[in-house]
Amino acid sequence: MTRILFATDMHGSEGTWRKFLNASAMLKVNVAICGGDLTGKMIVPIVKKNGKYTYYHLKETHTIDSSALEKAIKDVKGIGYYPYVTDESEYDEMCKNPEKVDEVFHKVMISTLKEWLDLIPQKLTSETRVVVCPGNDDRLAVDEIINKNKHVINGEGKVIEIDDAQEMISCGWVNPTPWHTAREEEEEKLEERLEKYISQLKNVENAIFNFHAPPYQSKIDEAPLLDKDLNPIIQHGSVVLVPVGSKAVRKMIEKYQPFLGLHGHIHESAGSIKIGKTHCVNPGSEYAEGILRAFLIEFKGDKITRLQRIEG
């Protein structure tokens, strides 16, 4: 029996990442898979002035002394933001210069990811392999950090043997989004990429497709319809949902009918569905609340014996 834990879209939430590792240890999984979007989206400057620290967090300005600094840093990390302790001079420069902000963000993002990966041997034994695949929100620079760490496997474009029967191929690239993120491309290009990746598999029918984008019109790809200002459209008191998954991913699943599809990207559409004989799952994400959402999947040969959503 092979047991995997699949989670995705942690977006810098350290609490969620720790829960992912802890759950993998507790459930004694063979492979722990993080399917994309590891890194955060925002830094929160914590500015030191006259022995106090001031920062803006959750729509409120906080002023604390040094005794509360550690807790403040933990609180900011907990919802996926990057705390950054600085002084007035550097903070003023950041306010005036967007390039400085990007420089600081990049530095903190990289150092935080290194810390995350260094937690793996503290939480897990060598019997559990950890696979991550950077998603569309992850800058290309994160690949180098993952590739250099001996405790984790970067799945992007690689065939990974999960057990004697199953191989997995991973892709963190997605179809275009309104936010123009780091790893997105037109459906035609994405289809070419997926075909190239899939061609490396020995037995595609027993394969796992770990593709960050969910298949189009699969019910695990529904997101709010947005207006021109990127605000959700509400009709009759409810947010209008539309399919935003990838047509290329759907085509690959229908064409090759792999054993299992692991997807994410669309936080609101947690669930599972069968496309032909392929079981496709999306755990969804509540990273900002520090909640781990995942699927625990057990299988032997080509038979799935357990497909269970878990959260905590």
Set out the domains of the chain in order of their start, with CATH numbers: 2-40+114-311 (3.60.21.10), 43-98 (3.30.420)
Neighbours of 188 (CB within 10 A): 10
**E strand or H helix that includes residue 300:** strand 293-300
Query: How high is the pLDDT of residue 79?
Result: 87
Q: What's the rounded Cα separation, in Å, for the pair 124 and 113?
A: 17
**Rounded to whole angstroms, what are the CA distances from 256 to 199, 216, 271?**
11, 16, 22
Tokens 């609340």 appear where? Answer: 289
The predicted model gives 186-208 an average pLDDT of: 97
pLDDT one-digit tens code per residue, 264-275: 999 999 999 999
At 48 the three-state DSSP class reads strand
Confidence of residue 177 (pLDDT cuts 50, 70, 90): very high
Q: What's the rounded Cα separation, in Å, for the pair 76 and 44?
A: 7
Confidence of residue 78 (pLDDT cuts 50, 70, 90): confident
pLDDT one-digit tens code per residue, 127-152: 999 999 999 999 999 999 999 999 99
